[in-house]
Amino acid sequence: MDAKNVFINCPFDNTYFKLLKPLLFSLIYMELKPQISETSDSGEIRLHKIKTLMQNSKYSIHDLSRMEPLRAKQLPRFNMPFECGIDFGIKLSNPQTYQNKKFLILEKEQYRYQRVISDISGNDIKAHKNNPEQIIKVIRDWFKPIDNNIPRHKEIWLAFNEFEFDYEEILTAEGYNPKDINALTFSDIIENMTEWIKAYKER
């Protein structure tokens, strides 16, 4: 279990992409390593990969904010609470190995989860209000007690906005849609962020 690994469980669509980018960016800026499953795998293979990523990650971030349908007549999406349950099962099934495993559970509103999944009460549950700056603050504040060298969230937010400008210019010039979550693989996005942050900090 790598103390730098952070497993990410969240929606993979363009609506959530505005939150996923600052989420990933803030972790990389704090010198942590996001672990995220690519969506191209078949269901069974992807589930095994998700389990391995969870087992290898000391930290997990589970965003349960998309439990309700996006539009009328759509069904709710249960992938996120399902994966959250698997992660809790890993920790509870082997407390000696995973006793130091920690979870940050994100929601849109602070106490909304109590109406649908009250069994997670007592864990670290924070609201991001669907706001990109707020998700950076929530993640930064959660990791701050673990590492006192982590900068204030405003520093990360300002850096992210510079990255966003550069990222959109580069992808647009290369013929990609920077608003499309599928334009690049998650590995490519993380690699781009890592290289950009390294250059930014060396200025």
Binning pLDDT at 50, 70 and 90, where does residue 17 land?
A: very high
Please give the pLDDT value at position 187: 92
More confident residue, 71 or 134: 134
Binning pLDDT at 50, 70 and 90, where does residue 65 land?
A: confident
- Is residue 29 over pLDDT 90? yes
Indicate the range of 16-30, 76-90, 144-158 predicted with least confidence. 76-90
Average pLDDT over residues 67-95: 76
Segment 138-177, tens digit of pLDDT: 999 999 988 888 999 999 999 999 999 999 998 999 999 9
Please give the pLDDT value at position 163: 96
Beta bridge partners of 95: none
- Is residue 68 over pLDDT 90? no
Which residues, other chains included, contact 21 with Cβ-Cβ below 8 Å and sequence gap of 6+? 132, 160, 164, 189
Average pLDDT over residues 116-142: 79
**C-alpha to C-alpha distance for 184 and 151, rounded to whole angstroms:** 29
**C-alpha to C-alpha distance for 59 and 102, rounded to whole angstroms:** 5
Beta bridge partners of 106: 63, 126
| Closest residue by Cα to residue 186 from 40, 84, 74, 67 | 40
Please give the pLDDT value at position 40: 55
Sequence length of the chain is 203
pTM score, whole prediction: 0.85
The answer to whether residues 184 and 12 touch, using CB atoms and an 8 Å cutoff, is no
Average pLDDT over residues 121-135: 81
Average pLDDT over residues 172-184: 90
DSSP 3-71: EEEEEEE---SHHHHHHHHHHHHHHHHTT-EEE---TTS-HHHHHHHHHHHHHTEEEEEEE-TT-S-SS
- Is residue 122 over pLDDT 70? no
Query: What backbone torsions phi and psi does residue 192 show, to the nearest 5 degrees?
Result: -60, -45
C-beta neighbour count of 46 within 10 angstroms? 14
**Strands 2-9 and 57-63, bridge-based pairing:** parallel
